[in-house]
Every structure is written in C-alpha cells, then in structure tokens.
Amino acid sequence: MFISTFTEKLSEKYSFNREINDSRIQKEKNLLPINKKGKPDYAFMEQYMRQKEQDKLANFKNYIAKRLDQVKTLKK
C-alpha cells in the first residue's frame, strides 16, 4: 500500500497529452524511508500504513455512529 501511492501519483502525472514511456519511467525516482543500514525500512512502512488504516477506520466508525444517530431521529 505504501508503494502503490507512488504509482497512483504517476498516473496523475502522466495523462493523455503526456504519455509515459520507457525513458520517462526510468527517470522516475521513488524515495522510500531507509533504515540505519541504508536499506528500505519495510517495518516502518508497514507500521505507517497500519496507522493510516486505523485512522481511516476510526473516522469511518465515527461517521457511521453519527449517521445512525441521525437516522434514529427521523420520522416515518
């Protein structure tokens, strides 16, 4: 999920008028967080995405709770 956001950004960057090709894709750089050894920090990326999921889930639960309260007050 962390890396897929980069590909989504690429699809926004390249459109019908500016098509993506081999030379353009080779010039693209995706910067990832790294650990002390200089390797991609997959543990950090996983934790970050889990936190984002939890935040979205909490927001959705709050939204649903508010909507249920609104529905309860409606008259037939």
pLDDT digits (tens, 9 = 90+) for 11-26: 777 766 677 777 877 8
CA-to-CA separations, 71 to 19, 50, 63, 65, 66, in angstroms, rounded: 47, 31, 12, 10, 9
pLDDT tens digit string along 31-54? Answer: 889 999 999 999 999 999 999 999
pTM: 0.64
How many domains does the structure of the chain reveal? 1
Domain that holds residue 44: 4-73
